[in-house]
Amino acid sequence: DAGITQSPRHKVTETGTPVTLRCHQTENHRYMYWYRQDPGHGLRLIHYSYGVKDTDKGEVSDGYSVSRSKTEDFLLTLESATSSQTSVYFCAISESRGQETQYFGPGTRLLVL
Amino acid sequence: QQQVKQSPQSLIVQKGGISIINCAYENTAFDYFPWYQQFPGKGPALLIAIRPDVSEKKEGRFTISFNKSAKQFSLHIMDSQPGDSATYFCAATNYNQGGKLIFGQGTELSVKP
State the virtual CA torsion across B73, B78, B82, B85 in degrees, nearest 10: 0
Domain that holds residue A84: 4-112
pLDDT attached to residue A1: 54
- Give the C-alpha separation, A54 to A106, whole Å: 24
For an interface test with B, the pick among A5, A97, A103, A109 (most B C-beta atoms closer than 10 Å) comes out as A97
Q: Tell me how close the Cα of B36 comes to any Cα of chain A, in angstroms.
A: 10
- Give the C-alpha separation, B111 to B113, whole Å: 7
Q: Which CATH superfamily is domain B4-112 in?
A: Immunoglobulins (2.60.40.10)
Q: Tell me how close the Cα of A50 comes to any Cα of chain B, in angstroms.
A: 8
Residue A32 pLDDT > 70, yes or no?
yes
Question: Of B107, B43, B87, B40, which is closest to residue A90 (Cα–Cα)?
Answer: B43
CATH number of the domain where residue A62 is located: 2.60.40.10
Average pLDDT, chain B: 94
Digit-coded pLDDT (tens) for B7-23: 999 999 999 999 999 99
Tally of domains within chain A: 1
Confidence band for B1, pLDDT divided at 50, 70 and 90: low
Confidence band for B2, pLDDT divided at 50, 70 and 90: low
